[in-house]
Chain A
Amino acid sequence: MPEDCYTTEGKRPESVHSVEDERAEGTIMEQVRQPRRVLAGVGRAVVVLVSATALGASALGWTAYRGVTVAVTTDDVIAAPATPPSREKAAAADTTFLLVGVDSRTDAQGRPLSREILDELQAGNPSGEQNTDTMIVVHVPADPTKKAFAVSLPRDSYVDIAGGYGKHKLNSAYSRAKNANGGSATAGRRNLIETVNNLTGLRVNHYAEINMYAFSQITKAVGGVPICLNKAVKDNYSGADFPQGEQVLQGADALKFVRQRHGLPRGDLDRVRRQQAFLAGLASRVLSAGTLTDPGKVTALLDAIKTSVVLDQNWNLLSLAEQVQGLSGGRIEFHTIPTLRSDLATPADGTAVEVNPKQVKAFVQDLLTAVPAPPVQMRQGLGSGTVAPEQHQETITANGVHCVN
C-alpha cells in the first residue's frame, strides 16, 4: 500500500480517516500519540531550518556580491590584443594589473567632491587637472610558487607617450588623450595602459583607478595602516607633519603621507617608496583576519570602494580580492623601474626623470624570470649612474612594516 512521504515513519493509524481529515488534523493527532513521530518531526524541522538558513545566507551573500560586482564603476579600457605577443604565451594565465592613483577632485562617477571633503583632504582647489600621480604595475603569476611583483612607475618618467603624443612625463599620458578626445576618461585610461605596455613590455590586462578621497576612505575603513618614518617630517605643501618611527595613519593623514614629495631627500622617488611601503602595510591590514571577518569593516571598505574606484569592465572586486589574497606575506615584492638622472631638462615639461626604455624592459624581464629566491640587493634599480648610499635599500614586501624617508 502506497504511503505518502509524511507518513513513512511509524505505523499508519488504526482508524482510517478520509484524506481531507488526515490532511487537516490527522498528522497532529498522530504526533501526539506517537513520540517517535514527534522526534522525527523535530528533526525534520531542524533540517528545514538549516536549509532555509543556508538559502538566506546565500541571499545575503548575493546582495553583497551584487554590491561589489555591479555597483562598482567599470570602464571599457582593456582592448583585446590585436597580436598576442608570443613571448608571453607561457605566461598566458598570469595577471598583470595597473593600479593608478589620480589627483582628481571628483568621485568615480565624475561628480565633484564637496568643499568639506576637499578641505579635509587638504586637496586645494579643483583645477580640472587630472594627473595620474601614482602608477604601479602588479604582476601575479599563475604559478603560485613564483613571486609576484609590483613595479612603481615614477610619475615624472620622461617616456614616449602612446597615441603619437611624443615624449612627455608619464603622468600626462592620461590627461593628454583625455583632452584630445573631448574629455573622455576612457580614452585617457586606454592611452595610459598602452603607454605602460610599451614602456614595460608587459601586457596590462586589468586596470584599477583610485582617487584621493577613496584612498582616504579605504584607510579609514581598515582602521589605519602602520607605517614607519626614518626621520620626522614637516611639509606645508602636503600638510605632512609626522614624528619619527612607527605610527598608524588613516584618512587625510594617510593621504599626506603618500603625497608628500617636498622636503624628501629624493623627492618623487622617495614618495614612490613611501607608496610602496604604504601599500604593503595596507595589503597586510586588509588581508588580516581582523578586517575581513569584521562585517562593519568590510561594509565600510566596500562603500569606500564603490564610490571612488574605477575598474576595467572584465574585472570585479572579488577577482581582485582573490588575486591579492594569494599575495599576502612575503610573496609580493615592490620595486621601482630603473631611472637615470632625476633632473633631466625637457623642452616643454620642466624637469623630468630620465628613463632608458631598454633598461626598463630588461628589468621587468628579469623580474618575470626571477627565481623564487628573493633578490635583496640593488633591486630598487635607482640611478645607475650615481650610486648613492640610499640605494642599498631592502626590498619592500607585504610582511611587516618598512621604514622609509
Chain B
Amino acid sequence: MALAGIAVTGAGMALGETYFPFALAGGCVVAALLADRSALFTAAVQPPLIALAVLGAAALFSGSLLRSASVFASVFPILAATTGGVVLIVLVRVLLNRRKTGSDAQ
C-alpha cells in the first residue's frame, strides 16, 4: 500500500507532466493514509524520492533531461506541501497508535 504512491505518480507522469504534481500529491497522501503501520516510515519519506525516481525514469525514457529537471524544479511547492502533509499524517497516525498502545498496556 505504501508503494501505491509511486504507481499513481508514475501513471500521472505517463499521462503527461500536467498531471504529475496532482498524481504525486494524491498518491503520496493516499499512501500515508492507508499504509500499514509497519510502512509508515516509507510513506513519510517517499514524496521527494518518488518525484526523483519517476522523473529520472522519464528522463531516461524520453531522453530529455532538461524537461525532467524543469518539472522537478517547478513541482517544488507541491512537493514540499505534500511532504509536509504526509509527515503530518504519519505523525498523527503514530501518535494515535501510541495512545492506543498506551491504553492497551495499562
Chain A residues within 8 Å of B, Cβ to Cβ: 1-6, 8, 16, 18-19, 23, 44, 47-48, 50-52, 54-55, 57-62, 64-65, 292, 318, 321-322, 325
- Choose one: B38, B64, B76, B94; the contact of A58 (CB below 8 Å): B76
Known: A54-B48, A55-B83. A322 touches B64 (CB 8 A): yes
Contact A3 B94, beta carbon cutoff 8 Å = no
- Choose one: B69, B73, B80, B97; the contact of A5 (CB below 8 Å): B97
Contact A2 B101, beta carbon cutoff 8 Å = yes
Contact A5 B41, beta carbon cutoff 8 Å = yes
| A255 nearest CB across to chain B (Å) | 28
Most buried by A among B66, B70, B94, B105: B70
Contact A322 B67, beta carbon cutoff 8 Å = yes
Contact B37 A58, beta carbon cutoff 8 Å = no
Residue of A whose beta carbon sits closest to that of B103:
A19
Enumerate chain B residues within 8 angstroms of A23, measured Cβ to Cβ.
98
Most buried by A among B48, B79, B83: B48
Contact B72 A58, beta carbon cutoff 8 Å = yes
| A247 nearest CB across to chain B (Å) | 30
Contact B76 A8, beta carbon cutoff 8 Å = no
For chain B, give the interface size range: 35 or more
Contact B98 A58, beta carbon cutoff 8 Å = no
Contact A54 B101, beta carbon cutoff 8 Å = no
| A68 nearest CB across to chain B (Å) | 9
Contact B101 A5, beta carbon cutoff 8 Å = no
B40 within 8 A of A: yes
The dominant DSSP class at the A interface is helix
Residue of B whose beta carbon sits closest to that of A54:
B48
Q: Which 3 A-B pairs have the closest CB atoms?
A: A61-B73, A62-B76, A54-B48
Residue of B whose beta carbon sits closest to that of A316:
B70
Enumerate chain B residues within 8 angstroms of A54, measured Cβ to Cβ.
48-49, 51-52
Residue of A whose beta carbon sits closest to that of B76:
A62
- Choose one: A2, A48, A62, A322; the contact of B37 (CB below 8 Å): A2
A48 vs B44: C-alpha distance in the bound complex, in angstroms? 9
Contact A2 B94, beta carbon cutoff 8 Å = no
| B24 nearest CB across to chain A (Å) | 11
Contact A59 B104, beta carbon cutoff 8 Å = no
B16 within 8 A of A: no
Contact A65 B73, beta carbon cutoff 8 Å = yes
A140 vs B79: C-alpha distance in the bound complex, in angstroms? 33
Enumerate chain A residues within 8 angstroms of B98, measured Cβ to Cβ.
4, 19, 23
Enumerate chain A residues within 8 angstroms of B39, measured Cβ to Cβ.
5
Chain A to chain B contacts (Cβ below 8 Å), 16 pairs: A5-B40, A5-B97, A18-B102, A23-B98, A47-B45, A51-B45, A51-B47, A55-B48, A55-B83, A57-B72, A58-B48, A58-B72, A61-B70, A65-B74, A322-B64, A325-B64
- Choose one: A18, A19, A44, A61; the contact of B72 (CB below 8 Å): A61
Contact B101 A19, beta carbon cutoff 8 Å = yes
- Choose one: B37, B69, B70, B75; the contact of A8 (CB below 8 Å): B37
Most buried by B among A52, A318, A325: A318
Residue of A whose beta carbon sits closest to that of B48:
A54
Enumerate chain A residues within 8 angstroms of B38, measured Cβ to Cβ.
3, 5, 8
- Choose one: A4, A64, A292, A318; the contact of B97 (CB below 8 Å): A4
Enumerate chain A residues within 8 angstroms of B66, measured Cβ to Cβ.
292, 318, 321-322, 325
A69 vs B52: C-alpha distance in the bound complex, in angstroms? 22
Enumerate chain B residues within 8 angstroms of A321, measured Cβ to Cβ.
66
- Choose one: A4, A52, A59; the contact of B94 (CB below 8 Å): A4
| B70 nearest CB across to chain A (Å) | 5
Enumerate chain A residues within 8 angstroms of B77, measured Cβ to Cβ.
62
Residue of A whose beta carbon sits closest to that of B79:
A58
| A208 nearest CB across to chain B (Å) | 18
| B45 nearest CB across to chain A (Å) | 4
Beyond the given pairs A4-B97, A65-B76, A322-B67, 6 more chain A to chain B contacts, judged by CB atoms under 8 angstroms and listed by A's residue number, are: A4-B94, A5-B38, A16-B105, A55-B79, A62-B76, A322-B66
Enumerate chain A residues within 8 angstroms of B9, measured Cβ to Cβ.
none
Contact B97 A62, beta carbon cutoff 8 Å = no
A60 vs B69: C-alpha distance in the bound complex, in angstroms? 11
| B102 nearest CB across to chain A (Å) | 4
Write the B37-63 contact mask toward A (1 if CB under 8 angstroms, else 0): 111110001111101100000000000
Enumerate chain B residues within 8 angstroms of A322, measured Cβ to Cβ.
64, 66-67, 70
Contact A58 B75, beta carbon cutoff 8 Å = yes
A62 vs B69: C-alpha distance in the bound complex, in angstroms? 10
| B81 nearest CB across to chain A (Å) | 11
Residue of A whose beta carbon sits closest to that of B90:
A5
